Amino acid sequence: MKITKIECFVLLVPDYRADANSSAQDNLVVKIHTDEGHIGIGETDTNPWVARAMIEARGTHIMGLGLTEMLIGADPTDVEGLWERMYRGSAMTGRRGLGICAIGALDMALWDLRGKIEGKPCWQLLGGSVNPNRITPYASLLPEGDDLDTYTRILVERAVKAKELGFRAVKLEVCTKGPYSHNSLQIEDDREIARVVQACREAIGPEITVMVDVAYAWRDWKEALRAIEMFADQDVFFIETPLPSDDVEGYAKLVHASPVRVAAGEWLNTRFEFLELFRAGGLDVAQPDVGRVGGLTEARRVAQHAADHGLLVVPHCWKSAIGIAASAHLSVVSPTCTHIECLPRELADSRLRRDLCSEELPIVDGYIPLPTKPGLGVAIDENALQSFRV
C-alpha cells in the first residue's frame, strides 16, 4: 500500500476578528490518501497558509526536501519511520516552529490512516492503555466582551453552562492583560483577575476543577507570583502560561515558589523544547498541543518524558474535534495525563469548531469513553469543509 495524494485545506470563519486571541477562527486540515482508498485526517494550529506552503513546497536539496514529496509513494503504516524521514529531510527549513507544526498535521493524519487500515483506534497502535484514569475533557471557556464587566459576566455564565453540560473541569481564560489579551483588553490591576476567578468559583461551587489561563500576562516571575497568591485560595488546579515561553529561568523560579501548579507548553515544538523546561524544573504540568508539537508520535514522547520527570500532562487543543480526538488518544497512552483541553461545541464562538466534523468522540457524564472506532474516530463534514475553505 502506498500514499498517493496529500490535500491541504486552509479554513477560516467568515466573521473572524484579527484582534481576537482565539486561533479557533482558522485551521489547516490535511487529508492523506492511499492507493487502496483509505483517507487519514489531521490538523494543526498555526498560520494555515504558511503551513500549507511548508507541506506543499518542492524540495531543492537533501537537507531541504518537500514534506509531500517525502510521503508520496511511502508505506503509510510506517508512521514513526515517516516522522523521522520528515524531521531529518526538512531540518534546515523546519526542525522547530512551523515546520514541526506542519509535520504534526501530517503525523496526526498518518496515525488516523494507519488506524483505519488496521481497524484499530489510535491509542491501541500507540502502545495501549497505560493510563488507568478516564479521559476527562475540561471545558475551555473564552468569553466575548470588550470590557471587563461583560467579559466577567459571560465567563461566569459559560462556567455555569459547562457544569450543566456535565463537565467535571473548566478552564477560565482570563486574558485581560499582556501581549496576548483578548479583544485588546488591558486591565493592569491583578486584583481584577482574582475577582474574575472568585466570581466563577462562587457560581459553580467547590466540586468542579478550575484551571486559569492568563496567556503570558506577566513580565517576570515575581509579578506572576504576587498575582497568583491573590487567587490561590480558590482551589485552582493550575495556572497556565503565566510567563513568556522563552523565560525558562523565570518558569523554574515560579514553579519553586508558586502555591498553584504552573502549566505551559502550548507553543512548544518537539520533545527537545519540553526537555529544556523539564530539566530546568520549569513546569508542573506539560501542555503539548498534538498538532504543534509534531503529531501523536512526538506528543507521546513528550508525555513519557513528563512522566519520567514526575510531571502531569494536560494536552492543549484550541481546534476542532479532530485535535480533541488526538488529545483523547494521547491521554490513554500517557501515564500522568489528568485532563484534555476541549472547546465545548455548545459554548464555542467559532463556527469552525462547531461545524467542521459530522462525527466526534462523545462526552458521556463528563468523560470521553475509551475510543473504539478505527483511527481517531472522527469524521469531517465535507460540506462544512468546502464552505470554510479559502
Q: Which is nearer to Mg ion, 213 or 349 (CB)?
A: 213
Q: Which is nearer to Mg ion, 33 or 158 (CB)?
A: 158
Write the binding mask 44 to 73 for Mg ion: x where contact by CB under 5 A, - elsewhere. Answer: ------------------------------
Burial 271-308 (b: 16+ CB within 10 A, else e): bbbbbebbeeebbbbbbbbbbbbbbbbbbbbbbbbbbe
The least CB distance from residue 264 to Mg ion, in Å, is 9
Q: Which is nearer to Mg ion, 86 or 200 (CB)?
A: 200
The least CB distance from residue 267 to Mg ion, in Å, is 9
Q: Is 284 in the site for Mg ion (CB under 5 A)?
A: no
The least CB distance from residue 224 to Mg ion, in Å, is 15
The least CB distance from residue 238 to Mg ion, in Å, is 11
Sheet containing 262-264: order of strands: 312-313, 285-286, 262-264, 236-240, 209-213, 169-173, 137-141, 340-342
* C-alpha dist (Å) from residue 77 to 1, 72, 268: 9, 13, 26
Site residues (CB under 5 A) for Mg ion, limited to 116-135 = none
From 139, 203, 143, select the one nearest 363 (Cα to Cα). Answer: 139
The least CB distance from residue 234 to Mg ion, in Å, is 19
**Residue of this chain nearest to Mg ion (CB atom):** 213
Burial label for 199, CB within 10 Å (0-12, 13-18, 19+), is: middle
Which residue do the cell numbers 491573590 mark?
Answer: 230
Q: Which is nearer to Mg ion, 54 or 175 (CB)?
A: 175
Q: What is the Cα Rg of the chain in Å?
A: 20
The least CB distance from residue 173 to Mg ion, in Å, is 7
Contact assessment for residue 361 and residue 368, using Cβ atoms and an 8 Å cutoff: yes
What nine digits make up the cell of 238?
Answer: 493550575
Q: Which is nearer to Mg ion, 190 or 213 (CB)?
A: 213
Residues in binding contact with Mg ion, number by CB under 5 A? 1
The least CB distance from residue 213 to Mg ion, in Å, is 4
Q: Which is nearer to Mg ion, 115 or 265 (CB)?
A: 265
Q: Which is nearer to Mg ion, 122 or 214 (CB)?
A: 214
Q: Which is nearer to Mg ion, 213 or 273 (CB)?
A: 213
Q: Are strands 357-359 and 379-380 parallel, antiparallel or unpaired?
A: antiparallel
The least CB distance from residue 161 to Mg ion, in Å, is 20
Write the binding mask 197 to 236 for Mg ion: x where contact by CB under 5 A, - elsewhere. Answer: ----------------x-----------------------
Which residue do the cell numbers 476542532 mark?
Answer: 320
CA angle 100/123/66 to nearest 5° reads: 25
Task: Dump the DSSP string for 160-216.
Answer: HHHHHTT-SEEEEE---SSTT-GGG-----THHHHHHHHHHHHHH-SSSEEEEE-SS
Judged by the rule CB under 5 A, the positions of this chain that interact with Mg ion are 213
